[in-house]
Chains A and B, each alone.
Chain A
Amino acid sequence: MTVNLMEVRDLTKRFTAPGGPFRKARVMHAVNGVGFDLARGRTIGVVGESGCGKSTLARLILRLIEPTSGTVRFDGDDLLAKSAGEMRKLRARMQMVFQDPYSAIDPRYTVARAVTEPFVVQGRTPDPGEIEALLTMVGLNPGLASSFPHQISGGQKQRVGIARALALRPSLLVLDEPTASLDVSVQAQIVSLLEDLRSELGLTYLFISHDLSLVRYFCDEILVMYLGRVVEALPDTDRPARHPYTRTLMESTFAPDPAMRRVIAPLEGEVPSPFDLPPGCAFADRCPNADALCRTDPPALERRGGHPVACHHPL
């Protein structure tokens, strides 16, 4: 048994928009050379704004999308070398909770049938007690078993999604913005449920979110992504940011305290197009500290006094 449940190296995904008679084919760099280790029982948070590639990364490490290059090792095994059949069996051990609970359950399935499906798919018949135990574990009244998705609330749907993901006793749970489409009071319920499950079942989480304060609250380590790349890997959540982008992200996050109002430094410019990446650092055009080097040489993610950061002039 390896220490790291998952080891990701140099993972890259390029999407090609096919050309036509009047258009050249265009290549989009969705995820660009991402690498990290996920130790057993730990929670890594991946944070970034829309279009930074965090959701694509989630699907790449579960091989729901085939990577262009790079390696993913799960429990010591090379995931990308697995056949389709081996992969289907292995999926029982690596599950995902999706952002939109409203479309994550087949509208024609009852709660009970949705939660039974993972067993059916893996060729097993669960006994009724097992389903009831699963529903109870995620805080759902077993009386809801015969309800259809349109009869239950968003928070309850997300609990069904979590029950489905946990049915096969996975080691890894990828959480793709599991609370982003829920109300604040329900969001907190789900986060608290995920915390309980983590300690009860000894789960390892990859938590994807745009909400830096939620990630800081929930995770052990943080990866900050910008335009398909990891720009900073914070080994704990209290460490001060050294990348100018992480710093901006932190300053843009409001504190829920009227006594702590702060002046927000404007971040000029726009995110460059992923179809047309700049030659140097992707953040250079918006960075106050950028110089000629930043515009020509892309900085590598290297340990520069403390923790890994991809910046020529870390703060």
Chain B
Amino acid sequence: MTVLSVRNLQVAFGAVAPLSGVSFDVAKGETLGIVGESGSGKSLTAMAVMGLLPLAGGRITAGSITFDGQELTTLTEKAYRRLRGGRIGLITQNPMTSLDPLQCIGPQVDAVAVLHLGMTAREARARTVEILGTLRIPDPATICDRYPHQMSGGMKQRIVIAMALAADPDVLVADEPTTALDVTVQAQIIRLLDDLVKSRDLALILITHDMSVVAQTCDRVVVMYAGRAVEQGPVGDIFDAPQHPYTQALIGCIPRGLDDGARLTGIAGTVPTVLNYPPGCPFHPRCDRAEEVCASIVPELEPNATGAVACHLPGVAP
């Protein structure tokens, strides 16, 4: 059952439009991966869903975001505040800065349930201990009295996840949740998120730059480039039969994705920044398939058998 759906989202900061033509759906019990390089607009998409754009000086100029039948783009800040951290949870990239260094862990997690579920302090603490337990944090009752600086990065990220879960959300947005962590810790956090999606019937939007993380956790994938969704579909199709040249090139950039003897080449050129998005298809200057039409007309996201692709010349690599 689709719980959150985004249609043709466009975001502007003053005269600059760093995001346009983004559409996707996410259902309960499903993980949707949004993958892209820096400046692709993946974090902006998360901010838009969380209603946090006004904080950064941006606004939604077109498109819609519907959550459980409710339109979010026209919501007042007050109504959004009830939703945010309540029915839509957020996990940020840097666990080092998302916790208050002057407050113990317990009260920080308790506050979410007190605020959104109207629990008493005692009920909230019991719930906190229970959630910390399900996140496999050893000895949760004593952890509540610790300060963030007394914990490792992986442990702090678990606390951030606990805060996101405290109000029993339907949708969880995780923006690069493991980028700041070591590989062994990353593996544990990813596994934890995977378990939560299944056991709590959550809809998880996982934003990452890492194709391997996508391959291991996601059900569906949106590939973003220069502020646009260029391809989307089930994870199997995206990896086995990618239609967009950028998706194909991105998979070719991962050393472990190569057969023996194959060489890494990378994608020639550089990732464009918001200020120099090329006209037409944003990928055409780096694309070896590009023709004249690609330089002038922006390709729309056209549905295909299992997903959608925004390319004038789609098709599996020759």
- Are A and B close enough to touch in the complex, i.e. CB under 8 Å? yes
Interface residue ranges, A against B (CB under 8 Å): 49-50, 153, 155-156, 183-192, 195, 210-214, 216-218, 248-249, 251-264, 266-267, 270-271
Is A254 a contact partner of B235 (Cβ separation < 8 A)?
no
Could you tell me if B235 and A258 are in contact, using CB atoms closer than 8 angstroms? Answer: yes
Residue of B nearest to A238 (CB): B260
User: B216 contacts A255, CB within 8 Å?
Assistant: yes
Contacts of A262 in B (CB 8 A): 216
**Distance in angstroms between the alpha carbons of A260 and B187 in the assembled complex:** 15
B267 within 8 A of A: yes
Bitwise, B232-272 to A at CB < 8 A (1) or not (0) is: 00011001000000000111111111100001111110110
The answer, yes or no, to whether B38 is at the interface (CB within 8 Å) is: yes
Q: What CA separation (Å) do A192 and B255 show in the bound complex? A: 11
Neighbour of A184 across the interface among B186, B218, B253, B256, CB < 8 A: B253
The smallest C-beta distance from B276 to any residue of chain A, in angstroms, reads 11
Question: Mind listing 5 A-B residue pairs with CB under 8 Å?
Answer: A183-B209, A184-B210, A188-B252, A210-B182, A253-B256
Could you say which residues of chain B place their CB within 8 Å of the CB of A210? Answer: 182-183
Chain A residues with CB under 8 A of B270: 153, 155-156, 186
Which residue of B183, B188, B250 has the most chain A CB atoms within 10 A of its CB atom?
B183
Asked if A186 contacts B266 (CB within 8 A), the reply is: yes
Assuming the A-B contacts A183-B38, A184-B250, A256-B211, are A195 and B263 also in contact, with contact meaning beta carbons closer than 8 angstroms in the complex?
yes
CA distance A256 to B76 in the complex (A): 41
Knowing A252-B186, A259-B236, say if A189 contacts B211 (CB, 8 Å). no
Given A213-B255, A253-B256, A267-B188, A189 and B213 contact (CB-CB distance below 8 Å): no
Would you call B37 and A185 a contact (CB within 8 A)?
yes
Known A253-B183, A254-B215, A266-B136; contact A188-B267, beta-carbon cutoff 8 A: yes
Q: Residue of B at shortest CB range from A188? A: B266
Nearest-CB residue, chain B, relative to A189: B266
B43 to chain A, nearest CB (A): 14
**B8 smallest CB distance to A (angstroms):** 26
CA distance A190 to B256 in the complex (A): 16
Residues of A within 8 A of B190 (CB): 254, 264
| CA distance in complex: A50, B185 (Å) | 11
* Chain B, interface residues (CB within 8 Å), range: 35 or more
Q: Which of B188, B256, B267 has the most CB of A within 10 A?
A: B256
Contact between chains at B255 and A254 (CB < 8 Å): no
- What A residues does B103 contact at CB under 8 A? none
Nearest B residue to A153 via CB reads B270
A188 to B186, CA, bound (A): 22
* Complex contacts, B152 vs chain A, CB 8 Å: 270-271
Contact A49 B183 (CB under 8 A): yes
- On whether the beta carbons of A252 and B239 are closer than 8 Å, the reply is no
Q: Which residues of A contact B251 (CB under 8 A)?
A: 256
Across the interface, do B266 and A214 meet the contact criterion of CB distance under 8 Å?
no
Is B7 in contact with chain A by the CB < 8 A criterion?
no
Chain A residues lying within 8 Å of B191, measured Cβ to Cβ, are: 263-264, 266
Closest 9 CB pairs of A and B: A189-B266, A188-B266, A217-B255, A213-B256, A252-B187, A254-B212, A185-B267, A188-B253, A49-B182
Contact of A256 among B188, B256, B267 (CB under 8 A): B256
* Alpha-carbon gap, A192 to B152, bound state (A): 35
Name the B residues within 8 Å of A259 (CB-CB): 236, 239
Query: Are B188 and A264 in contact, with the CB atoms below 8 A?
Result: yes
Q: How far is the CA of A24 from the CA of B295 in the complex (A)?
A: 66
Contact (A187, B216) CB under 8 Å given A49-B184, A213-B256, A217-B256: no
Q: Which residue of B lies closest to A268 (CB)?
A: B138
